[in-house]
């Protein structure tokens, strides 16, 4: 918005996706903590809605937990240059 606060668009339900839990260990003021992050694999042909795009700083709700999108990577077919899939890292 005009004040620099992030704004979210209309919520979209993603289907036919694969979610992988990744675990990272962080050292903070309270000592070491394990943190579960997620990677969402969104296939360009089989996942819905078709044509979905992702950007860093977006919001995803998974199993009632809210995550922010980080490390958004689009992968294209090197032969056709068509979108193959997205890998979206989530932190929360």
Q: 86 pLDDT exceeds 70?
A: yes
Of the two residues 26 and 89, the one the predictor is more confident about is 89
Tokens of 3: 């004040």
User: How far is residue 48's CA from residue 14's CA, in Å, rounded to a whole number?
Assistant: 6
Q: 14: buried, middle or exposed (CB in 10 Å: 19+, 13-18, 0-12)?
A: middle
pLDDT in tens, 74-85: 999 999 999 999
- Average pLDDT estimate for 4-15: 82
Q: Tell me the per-residue pLDDT of 40-54, one tens digit each, with 9 for 90 and over.
A: 999 999 999 999 999
What is the residue whose two structure tokens read 């296939």?
43
């Amino acid at each position: 918005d005009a004040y620099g606060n992030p704004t979210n668009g209309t919520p979209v339900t993603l289907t036919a996706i694969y979610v992988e839990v990744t675990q990272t260990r962080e050292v903070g003021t309270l000592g070491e903590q394990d943190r579960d992050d997620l990677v969402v694999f969104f296939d360009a042909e089989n996942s819905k809605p078709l044509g979905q795009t992702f950007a860093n700083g977006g919001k995803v709700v998974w199993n009632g937990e809210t995550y922010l999108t980080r490390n958004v990577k689009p992968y294209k077919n090197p032969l056709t240059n068509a979108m193959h899939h997205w890998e979206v890292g989530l932190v929360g």
